[in-house]
Amino acid sequence: MTSTDFLSILPIIILVAWGCVLLLVDVFSKKNTWLTPLLAAAGLMVTLVFSIVQSGTTYTGFNGMVVVDGFSGFLNVLFAVSGLAGIALSFDYNKRMGLDRGEYYILLLFSISGMMLMSVAADLIVVFLALELLSIPLYVLAGFARPKLDSEEAAMKYFLLGAFAGGFVVYGVALAFGATGSTALGEIVAAVNTGTADLTLLTIGAGLIIVGFGFKVAVVPFQMWTPDVYQGAPTGVTAFMAVGAKAAGFAALLRVFVAALPTLYEQIVPIMWVMAALTMIVGNIVAIAQSNIKRMLAYSSIAHAGYIFMALVAFGQADVAPDAVSAALFYLLAYAVTNFGAWAVVIALEKSEGKGLQLDDYAGLGRKYPALAAAMLVFMLSFTGVPPTLGFMGKFFLFRTVLQAGFVWLAIIGVLTSLISAYYYLRVLVIMYMRDGDPEVNTPFLLNLTTGLTAVGTVVLSIVSVPLFKWASQAVLKIF
């Protein structure tokens, strides 16, 4: 192992090693339950700093198995920040719900290491390993509130469908290996270009990979687990997995399809087109019928996966693809900030035994807790895509790329479904401000901090969104 190899996965090494140390720390400090989360956050801070330092460079490690580039740098920063937000959201929530066990934060670290491995993976086998490394801790986290039946059930459903999806991915990888004789993205491109690849087999393999990751990022028709898992899992985990697992899934899809398989564009683009359109339509329409806020946000996350999937549809157009990748990254960032804020409000209102999660429980929030309600207002407007919020800028850049790529109807479907989504997002605001009620909230410091930072971030970052988008544009994929 050379020093470049070592450097290329250093953030992942830090997280895994620190996680193992923390497992020991946790055993010996059962009384100080604040210690493990604090140290986990410190480890994430170090990883974050290193990811920022690393983000300007491009090099490969382990004979091309991993590649560090702008794309991975951007995503690693996003993952590290998501982890910090996840810890901030869970800290008081876990105490309140009696989930105050140190493994929680360690599993979070392991899951983030898998996500980071996903963002640097340049070999299909590494993609598969990263997928499992990020998923297996999440299965456990989803069931963390055991013996609560809801949580166990969520974990079971997530596990069975996640493992099922993993089976599709690995079989797709096997077929891609059979078609090209290699699983390295660079060599797959080379085999396709020299004509030694079996394109039929490669197309089937790529299709299976889409199915597998379709489950992970929750696009229609592979979305059915999402609402159940999001509802049953502890809310801190839900918030984290809604951002982390989705971003990692899209990282893999973008890298594999944009960098390695643009030649299959003609065959695959109709399927992707239909999946993106269906995801936006189904996610937004079914969300209207929900009365539980966790389920509503779950369907909303499906709908947002559909928007990001639109960017992926343009993967084979060499002139648009870099723009599409940066639009997708920017949208992921916008989604992450808004999403953590919205889930922070949900956590503030949630009570034990699953109470405080109905939309009606938000009645009167505007009068009793104006600051919290104002934050929720910002998040809901951002989800809808109303300026001046990050959600609007995200949609703006995204629709611009989709139009450039020539998918006019897809953009129209996207705009129309955004209009539909206004109905259920604004309904939350109507309930908050126009109905009388007496909600009770828990506002510990860390939760307030997260809500405040994300609310301010949603507005302020949208004003400076052009430099931010430039950063995302520099996060181009290394092309083989």
Partner 1 sequence: MLPVSYYVGLSAILFTIGALGVLIRRNAIIIFMSIELMLNAANLAFVAFARAHESLSGQIFVFFVITVAAAEVAVGLALIVAIFRNKQSIDVDQMSNLKG
Residues that bind partner 1 (CB under 8 A): 125, 128-129, 132, 136, 139-140, 143, 146-147, 149-150, 152-157, 159-160, 163-164, 166-168, 170-171, 173-175, 177-178, 181-183, 227-228, 231-232, 289-292, 295
DSSP-assigned beta bridge partners for residue 358: 292
Instruction: State the Cα–Cα distance between residues 259 and 188, nearest whole angstrom.
Output: 10
Residue placing its CB nearer to partner 1 in the complex, 180 or 473: 180
Greatest CA separation for the chain? 69
Give Cα 325 distance to the centre of its chain. Answer: 15
Residue placing its CB nearer to partner 1 in the complex, 129 or 479: 129
Burial class (CB in 10 A: 0-12, 13-18, 19+), 453: middle
364: helix, strand or coil: coil
Instruction: State the Cα–Cα distance between residues 445 and 447, nearest whole angstrom.
Output: 5
CB of 357 to partner 1, least distance (A): 11
CB of 136 to partner 1, least distance (A): 5
CB of 130 to partner 1, least distance (A): 11
DSSP-assigned beta bridge partners for residue 66: 61, 121
Contact call for residues 216 and 136 (beta carbons, < 8 A): no
Residue placing its CB nearer to partner 1 in the complex, 249 or 366: 249
CB of 152 to partner 1, least distance (A): 5
CB of 14 to partner 1, least distance (A): 21
195: helix, strand or coil: coil
CB of 200 to partner 1, least distance (A): 12
Contact call for residues 73 and 54 (beta carbons, < 8 A): yes
DSSP-assigned beta bridge partners for residue 292: 358
CB of 261 to partner 1, least distance (A): 18
| Number of other residues whose CB lies within 10 A of the CB of residue 77 | 22
Give Cα 212 distance to the centre of its chain. Answer: 15
Residue placing its CB nearer to partner 1 in the complex, 15 or 298: 298
Residue placing its CB nearer to partner 1 in the complex, 136 or 455: 136
CB of 241 to partner 1, least distance (A): 15
Residue placing its CB nearer to partner 1 in the complex, 211 or 313: 211
Angle, nearest 10°, between helix axes 70-97 and 35-54? 170
CB of 184 to partner 1, least distance (A): 9
Residue placing its CB nearer to partner 1 in the complex, 107 or 320: 107
Residue placing its CB nearer to partner 1 in the complex, 41 or 229: 229
Contact call for residues 311 and 247 (beta carbons, < 8 A): no
Contact call for residues 65 and 184 (beta carbons, < 8 A): yes
For residue 360, give the DSSP letter: G
Of the candidates 80, 67, 382, 75, which has an alpha carbon nearest to the alpha carbon of residue 247? 75
Residue placing its CB nearer to partner 1 in the complex, 128 or 335: 128
Residue count of the chain: 480
